[in-house]
Structure 1
């Protein structure tokens, strides 16, 4: 076998997809979409920004059989993202390792100065086995958890003297526009906090938070927030004059694509909490908000191991048969 290695060319994707066949998992499917001609990044003619990227193809007698990509990231910029895929009949022959070595060499030219690599693999796939063989370490595990309806009892909210019974909690549970400055702030600080120890983002600008999580282009359809008790600007003896701060939020993106077809498809929900809450308060806020959003309909939550308030809630639900994992876990590895 005499392989040749060259930069990616237009049309390589069509040939490779025929040889590779169906992706092994969701991460393979996503990374295949990143394979394209190399670019130097920076501001484009239309004013948009592109991340620096290098893409290499391995050919056997002129036919593409493997490819790899290394690229800078915007949100998690402390590491470069890398991906390698090799046709099944060319595996275990050093092709993947050679591609990775070449990608590391290309990474020396990344304008950010970042050199460490990371990637995501579906647990139990050949990609996970390859990463393990390379000695890459798992820095995080992520699961999609479907919570079934009415798995948790509804929270009981206090009622003010001037409120009817049906209005109890009206000051605490509210719909909020996804363009809200208040929501944007709490989502950004929460995301920073749950990634700080393993894939730091640094401070996220409101524009970045909107672009990645809340803008119309993300599919965000609406948000519900759980607030603390309304506050008084003049002390406890005076009626509250301002809203309580957000304790937890849930952003819905419509039916989750990973769920099985159903007459009642689960909603894809991003659920987080105020980063400044204590562990106990965060857990309580998350429990109450999950109970509310999953009371009548199922929801799917992405749960990273670093999200203690969520893992502490969903793991007992899974054990009790009131929640279940969809698909394999995603492992984030670095090396």
Structure 2
């Protein structure tokens, strides 16, 4: 074979490998090219899946049918147990089962049950670091196929009773200090685990000075983390006060600094009705999601959707949530 022919063959082979690898990225999966979809799985549902194999198997089958490829799986204490520490084999089994189906699993941290909104307070920030450290320690001890693929933390300072116009800057700085401490723990671990928060869309309207720089809180957060799950709770894609309108500034900044934005959508009952797809048809939801995906398909920052939450989404599509026997 001549050098020219050999060079051409090698180039063709290289291009084929690159094309094959690109086809495996979440943004262009073999399910029709839909954007990635994730779901938040909170305490009770996560622990049911961890402790009852039949519940886990059915849940994974349901999620696969619905093209949900990323699980934000609760990974902290619940009802005076911490299975991540006390029975890590349960997480190993569930993560392996998800990986075998081509799904990724992120550790979901933060809890109404634990009142983790308090972790933004200076005297409690060490608890947030410890919460992440338990995930890092678990991953360090687990085989590659049983490790978490990332971390999502949901710690919302605006849930504190102390939140008001006067205290807001201090509490948001606490959130940023807490986040910086968590990312420092990740750095010290030597792990490259993606870490990002659930973040309200309206943080882009709050200007805050932190570490000598004044900018929107949303931009400080994107500077610190790898991605954000934007709680963009509206049930229509376009126009004023819409999903696209509220994500616009975060997407623009993330495009600029090389970060990712996952669009969070809600399916649970609530008021006002515009916050959730509850009460609408699944076809109506898919039509709005398609508009968002069409608008953002070519944007580097767009990392798909995350649904709030597993049980709420199941009820929305008309499938009851199985319980552990």
Which of the five TM-score ranges fits, normalised by the shorter chain?
under 0.3
Whose helix fraction is larger, Structure 1's or Structure 2's?
2
Whose strand fraction is larger, Structure 1's or Structure 2's?
1
Greater length-normalized contact order (CA 8 Å, ≥ 6 residues apart): 1
Normalised by the length of structure 2, the TM-score is 0.25
Which is greater in Rg? 1
Normalised by the length of structure 1, the TM-score is 0.24
